[in-house]
Amino acid sequence: MKSRTKVVVIGGGIAGCSTLYHLTQEGWSDVVLVERNELTSGTTWHSAAQVTNFGMNQTMVGLKTHSIALYKELSEDPDYPINYHHGDGGIRLANTQEQMQGYRHFASMARGIDVHFEVIDADECARRHPLISTENLVGGLWDPLDGDIDPAQLCQALARRARKAGAEVYRNTPVVGLTQHKDDTWTVHTEHGDIDCDIVVNAGGYRVNEVGAMMGVHHPVASMEHQYFLTEDIPAIAEAGHRMPLLRCPISDYYCRQEKQGLLLGFYEQDCKPWGMDGIDPNFVNALCPDDLDRVTDVLEGAFARMPALMETGIRTVVNGPITYTIDGAPLVGPIPGKRNAFCIIGLRAGLGEGGGHGWLLAQQIVHGEACYDTWCLDPRRFTGHTNVELTSLKAIEDYQNEFRFHFPHEHRPAGRPAKTTPLTPILAAEGAEFTVVNGWERADYFKPSPEFHPSLSFHFDEAFDVVANEVKAIQTGVGLAEVNGFNRIEITGADRHAFLDRLFCGTVTKRDGRVGLGYLLNHHGMVKAEATVANLPASDRGPERVWYGSAAAAEFHDIDWLRQHINADEDVQLKSLTNDQTILVLAGPKARDVLSHVSRGDWSKEAFPWLSVRECFIGFAPATVMGVSFSGELAYEIHVPNASLYAAYLALRQAGEAFGLKLFGARAVESMRMEKGFLHWKSDLLTEFDPFETGLDRFVKMQKPDFVGKPALEARQAEGLRKKFVVLEIDATHAPAHPGGSLMDDGRVVGTITSGDWGHRTSKNLAYAFVDPAYADLGCQMELDLLGSAVGATVIAPGQYDPDHSLMRG
């Protein structure tokens, strides 16, 4: 066994084997994999091993496409061929028009990444899958590349190729401890000796938290028992003359594929069962949980009704094994929050289909710092601090119960809520707030007209349309108040704070006390990494001179890791997170200044407190820090208040606001208004797949600066010209917004992809943002949007349709 290597991958299931192989593909051959037993002895060996292409965003579809291409290539390797049924096809069934709407959207999204799903009716489903009845069936989504693979052969093939490229695999070598050294390197302690390395990867499957504990980390991953059975032969299969396509049923929660001349049926029962919450028997190796078919009778009946042939078919084998889930159903693939040189590839619930792609994206992140796709939907830092065993298990149960039911726009499922609240949460609930969830925070989405108001789940504009319109109107003509909780706020102190930030931001950000600026941070490839406001606070009785770095709620762990990694050893810079201590009250509208002047001493005139100012003050008797910034495009103030004083500040503002007709508003009104201003959202429109020039952020980049993170790479990219361009579009439709991922077409060719879409209530326009081929970026350029299966017109318009010269927000 080596005593030193570059990377140690812990775990020899599909996750570990794929990571090892792809590290060698990215050029790192001094890498090892350590497995406590034999390869595939965790979950992988007993997987149903279906390989599908469906995903709800382009990153997921793209990584699955990579798996499929890789597995096909492996299966055709004459030296070590493996069993892969490639391209049997698969159908995701639907029994409602709303599900069909969703499939049409996902087909539009996948088209942009050159994956071609087909939306088919019930008769066509039955034609392609001769065993199914069309009873209570509207149609389905056809995925031509679905298939299944031999999981053990797949892992052996990946390990074999990795070994040939120089990697080593140590079997029967349990990792028993991890030590990180001052220089951020690691020692991996195994039962057979220590291995020093630069980087560790946790690919421990259902033992993820045993490995996590060795580095003092709890990962939000829980295991569920999951069962399938194999049937005796079914004559109709042999008679069909072709292999049966895969089936996925959101009505009765089962899946099905052909196995020999019978079927394999797997179940996601409502009466489901978490596994291993209090620890896992160390001898649970190559093992299964006891069969328990009684638990799945609810879904079994649906499967029998859909495939009547099952009623005359015997069951050959039952398999019940642990399968891992995270709190939003997507795996955790990337850097481990708060750690250096530590990565994970865990929480895989469809790891056979996805594992090839996940290992590919992880290896790119390890070797190059970033992957070819924006991997935020997989990033382990997307959950922050509220994800203990209970919450993770509650979300895992909910996700398991809804396995084949995709999320609709504005859908926030109830399990594990409320996780993060402020003193205002119950107050806003009593005012009729409908809550959305942002990184665990309960945030008011809009205020319901009545307690019975429950908009339907739809890809069309829903019944909240007019409610949001009224909130926008109140802000535009008077004044509104909203709570924005969980906003990421990092206090930066120390003599070198400005020089530090100057190195990270690609533009000039104000250093003047009392002023606020907006800027962008790039990664080392010159791509957009983060967006932040910087507010410079002078020394006061509340603290020394300091900068408040503010960014999206979900960015809390992501941004602080990035900032920490870039502090030089000789720099006087300290970071402190205020995210959980402070909440923002947004006061917006032409009468916002009047309300503020009534509750806070001092001169709030335009001259004394112009746009982009920051000042410490009191709102009534609540200490507050007020910034003159606006996401709505109206005159607005962000009022940052310590949570202990939040209710006091809220009451003071409500009371003062009464005379001015102050109304509460929520996140959906903000979304509509920000699109009318052309403002971008982190991880919707600000992605690591595009540089700041492609994203239209030219005025925030200063190439004349001697240096900033990402500058050399950005210079090289500039020389090559733009590959894509960010545009604002007007969509010629009134029934539905453009949905993220939707494809823009010209003459049957995809020319762009939507990132955001919403109705602009002040401009009466259906607005969308997109990245398009540069040839389609000029004002007035026309194309078509594949909107839920229909082609509708899309025209490039100027960004910032509402008050383009920003005179309103300047007050």
Ligand X SMILES: Cc1cc2nc3c(=O)[nH]c(=O)nc-3n(C[C@H](O)[C@H](O)[C@H](O)COP(=O)(O)OP(=O)(O)OC[C@H]3O[C@@H](n4cnc5c(N)ncnc54)[C@H](O)[C@@H]3O)c2cc1C
Among 2, 30, 37, 198, binds ligand X (CB under 6 A): 37
Q: Report the DSSP beta bridge partners of residue 317.
A: 230
Tell me if 175 contacts ligand X by CB under 6 A. Answer: yes
Confirm or reject binding of residue 171 to ligand X (CB under 6 A). Answer: no
Residue 205 sits in the site that holds ligand X (CB under 6 A): yes
Helices (H) and strands (E) in the chain, counts: 18, 39
Q: How far apart are the first and last CA of the chain?
A: 69
Q: Tell whether residue 201 is a contact of ligand X (CB under 6 A).
A: no
Residue 170 lies near ligand X (rule: CB under 6 A): no
* Alpha helices in 221-350, H assignment, sequence order: 235-240, 297-306
* H or E segment to which residue 787 belongs: strand 782-787
Q: Does 32 bind ligand X (CB under 6 A)?
A: no
CB 732, CB 793: distance < 8 Å: yes
Tell me the closest approach of the beta carbon of residue 146 to ligand X, in angstroms.
Answer: 10
Position among 10, 93, 330, 745 found at the interface with ligand X (CB under 6 A) = 10
796 lines the binding site for ligand X (CB under 6 A) = no
Count the residues of the shown chain that bind ligand X, applying the rule CB under 6 A. 42
Q: Which residue carries 């900068």 as its tokens?
A: 547
Q: Are 618 and 634 in contact (CB under 8 A)?
A: no
List binders of ligand X among 50-79 (CB under 6 A): 50
3-class SS string, 259-295: ECCEEEEEECCCCCCEECCCCCCCCCCCCCCCCCHHH
* Per CB under 6 A, 47 contacts ligand X: yes
Instruction: Give 663-688 as a DSSP string.
Output: EE--HHHHHHHHHHHT---BTTTB-T
Q: Among residues 5, 19, 41, 387, which is the contact residue for ligand X, using CB under 6 A?
A: 41
Question: Which of these segments, 198-206, 375-383, 569-577, 593-601, binds ligand X (CB under 6 A)?
Answer: 198-206
Residue 748, helix vs strand vs coil: coil
Residue 204 in contact with ligand X, rule: CB under 6 A: yes
CB-nearer residue toward ligand X: 110 or 155 = 155
Determine the residue type at 267: F
Among 61, 199, 203, 669, binds ligand X (CB under 6 A): 203
Q: Is 528 in the site for ligand X (CB under 6 A)?
A: no
Q: Can you tell me which of 36, 128, 382, 503 binds ligand X, judged by CB under 6 A?
A: 36
Contacts with ligand X in 330-349 (CB under 6 A)? Answer: 348-349
Q: Is 753 in the site for ligand X (CB under 6 A)?
A: no
| Binding characters for ligand X, 233-272, by CB under 6 A (x = yes) | ---------------------------------x------
Q: Where does this chain touch ligand X (CB under 6 A) — which range of 21-29, 45-53, 385-393, 801-809?
A: 45-53
22 makes contact with ligand X (CB under 6 A): no
464, amino acid identity: A
Contacts of 216 by beta carbon, 8 Å cutoff, 6+ apart? none
Distance CA 755, CA 57 (A): 11
Question: Which span sits near ligand X by CB under 6 A: 33-41, 364-372, 422-430, 639-647?
Answer: 33-41
Closest separation in Å from C-beta 44 to ligand X: 3
Pick between residue 191 and residue 390 the one whose CB is nearest to ligand X.
191
Q: Confirm or reject binding of residue 145 to ligand X (CB under 6 A).
A: no
Shortest Cβ distance from residue 351 to ligand X (Å)? Answer: 2
Q: Give the containing element (helix H, strand E) for 367.
A: helix 351-368
Site for ligand X in 269-328 (CB under 6 A): 319, 321-323
Q: Which of residues 715-744 bind ligand X (CB under 6 A)?
A: none
Give the one residue of 11, 262, 357, 740 binding ligand X; rule: CB under 6 A.
Answer: 11
User: 481 CB contacts (<8 Å, ≥6 apart)?
Assistant: 585, 586, 587, 588, 650, 653, 654, 657, 662, 663, 664, 665
Q: Judge contact between 329 and 347, C-beta under 8 A.
A: no
Which part of the chain contacts ligand X (CB under 6 A), choosing from 47-55, 388-396, 487-495, 674-682? 47-55
CA distance 529 to 523: 5
195 binds ligand X (CB under 6 A): no
SS3 track for 86-145: CCCCEEEEECCHHHHHHHHHHHHHHHCCCCCCEEEEHHHHHHHCCCCCCCCCCEEEEECC
Can the peptide bond before residue 81 be classed as cis, meaning omega within 30 degrees of 0?
Answer: no
Please state, in angstroms and rounded to a whole number, the distance separating the CA atoms of residues 75 and 720: 38
Q: CB-wise, 345 or 772, nearer to ligand X?
A: 345
275 vs 682 by CB, closer to ligand X:
275
Q: Which of 11, 644, 688 is nearest to 371 (CA)?
A: 688
Contact call for residue 211 and ligand X (CB under 6 A): yes
Q: Is 585 helix (H, G, I), strand (E, B) or coil?
A: strand
β-sheet bridge partners, residue 5: 197
**Closer by beta carbon to ligand X, 186 or else 447:** 186
List the structure tokens of 196.
């020093």
Residues found near ligand X in the complex (CB under 6 A):
10-16, 34-37, 41-44, 46-50, 174-175, 203-207, 210-211, 226, 228, 266, 319, 321-323, 348-353
